[in-house]
Chains A and B, each alone.
Chain A
Amino acid sequence: MPYRLIKFAFSKQHPEAAFFRQPAQIRDSYDAVIIGGGGHGLAAAYYLARDHGITNVAVLERGYLGGGNTGRNTTIIRSNYLTPEGVAFYDASVKIWENLSQELDLNLFYSNRGHFTLAHTESAMRTMRWRAEVNKQMGVKSEVLGPDDIQQACPQIDLSCAGHAPILGALYHAPGSVARHDGVAWGYGRAASQMGVEIFQNTEVTGLDIRGGRIHGVQTNRGNIKTGKVLSAVAGFTPRITQMAGIRTPIVIHPLQACVTEPMKPWLNTILVSGSLHVYVSQSSRGELVMGAALDPYELHSTRSTLDFVEGLSSHILDMFPFLSGIKVVRQWAGMADMTPDFAPIMGRTPVAGFYLDAGWGTWGFKATPISGKTMAETMARDQEPELIDAFRLSRFREFELTGEKGAAAVGH
């Protein structure tokens, strides 16, 4: 193995093909331009090519592929949401996830773990029962379990949480899974590229060409592109793009931080989430504990990390697992979460014809990668949203018809 690796490193003729083509020049015009080379943008490119035969597409990424929130989340996949619209949407996503490794011919380390949302108060138990009933009605496997079941699934947990936040029960969601997040961007990117989509990294959009209420092209740091269809799938950069388009939205950016510990032998089989303690934790296939917490408390366009975050998170993790006191945190980072007031995304057409938004993914976007790509591709191809994403339209705010998902999408409420 080391010999092969050294040989590979010094080889001029790399035996492994590049994941995607990197054309030297951006052409003057494309049928569609996708801003944002993360999971969502690349998935939209893939389904545009696969389902709608639109392959003359450019994906523009200001940094590198999957380097934004696609590579910064805690990789949890689930569909135990609160509203029927949310449950149907995320369940459609889980169904694609289950066979995605085969479809993209890339091992995404999709690992079905089961997902526990712990309840420490009576009001949290009420929300869990509500979610379980909505889920069951929609055919999604969720049920409320008691403390004994939790202890059985995770013998290491201190059910009293150091005495000050005893666990009363949990919402158990059997389909809950984790996957390797950067692999998802690479898999979709490769598959889209093979069908003719062109991917450009280090390419930043600097302006939009909008005339007569319609999009005519985009300006980038590498020249102008003519196109009649533009998708913005840029997560934390959404307000900068909508400002270029002259569209007002409710989106504000808050940092969301996460961290991992040093690797350990596998001991945590499930995914655990606690709303009251503001933490979620799972163990990666490499043995690290992947942990996240609530949003930073105020608006900030930055991916800086803070000591406050690891201190607060660690104290809550130790409430649940006192034996982790000697384990080191080895890495922490942040992503820019594009938050909406109702904790549901903003998807579909905008007041500018030909300009589509896939945004407002806040802290809940990774799990939706396949289905958002699929539905946004359909929206772009037909200039009409499928019914599945109607509840997520931008105009819902003007119509006072919000899709309240806070009870299922947030920790810390």
Chain B
Amino acid sequence: MKLLKCPVNGLRPIDEFAYGGELREMPDPQSCSDGEWADYVFNRTGAPGVKPEWWYHIPSGTWFVAERNTVTDMVERTYFRGEA
């Protein structure tokens, strides 16, 4: 079983976690253009590499960020948003 390190609970089996997708910065919906908003809603950085992603530890209800290599599936580090 693959393990992932939750910042609160430490190493836990991967099936205790849910994937939340790539970490993205939301543009200001009041001031951004329709194009910028559509880009934020739909488009993703699909190319392989190390990316910050949202992950969720289901039993404890913990959202955190994992920097993961999407080719090798190796997690480089995990941390709370803003604590990078």
Query: Which residues from chain A sit less than 8 Å from chain B, CB to CB?
Result: 238-240, 242-243, 248-253, 297-302, 304, 308, 338, 341, 397-400
Contacts and interface: CB of A to CB of B under 8 A. Distances in A.
A251 B46 CA distance: 6
B19 A301 contact: no
Contact of B48 (A239, A249, A297, A308): A239
Given A250-B42, A397-B38, A300 B47 contact: no
B73 to A, nearest CB: 6
Contacts of B53: 298-299
B38 A400 contact: yes
B43 A250 contact: yes
A300 B51 CA distance: 11
Q: Is the interface of A mostly helix, strand, loop or mixed?
A: loop
Contact of A302 (B15, B21, B71): B71
Interface string B42-60: 1111111000010000000
Contacts of B41: 397
B70 A300 contact: yes
Contacts of B72: 302
Nearest to A400: B38
Interface string B15-39: 1001101100000000000110011
Q: Interface majority SS on B: helix, strand, loop or mixed?
A: mixed
Given A302-B72, A397-B42, 11 more contacts: A239-B47, A243-B46, A249-B46, A250-B44, A253-B48, A297-B18, A299-B53, A302-B71, A304-B73, A397-B41, A400-B38
Contacts, number: 61
A238 B45 CA distance: 12
A298 B19 contact: yes
A298 B34 CA distance: 28
Contacts of B73: 300, 302, 304
Contacts of B42: 250, 341, 397
Contacts of A397: 38, 41-43
B70 A301 contact: yes
22 contacts: A239-B46, A239-B47, A242-B46, A243-B46, A248-B43, A249-B43, A250-B44, A251-B44, A252-B22, A252-B44, A252-B46, A253-B48, A297-B18, A298-B19, A299-B53, A299-B70, A300-B71, A301-B48, A308-B15, A397-B41, A397-B42, A400-B38
A141 to B, nearest CB: 34
A248 B44 CA distance: 7
Nearest to A253: B46
A298 B43 CA distance: 17
A-B pairs with the 7 shortest C-beta distances? Answer: A239-B46, A298-B19, A301-B48, A397-B42, A243-B47, A248-B43, A250-B42
Query: Interface centre among B35, B38, B53, by most A CB within 10 Å?
Result: B38
A240 B49 CA distance: 10
Nearest to A238: B46
B50 to A, nearest CB: 12
A338 B46 CA distance: 9
Contacts of A253: 46, 48, 70
A341 B41 CA distance: 10
Contact of B38 (A298, A304, A398): A398
A302 B2 CA distance: 15
A399 B70 CA distance: 29
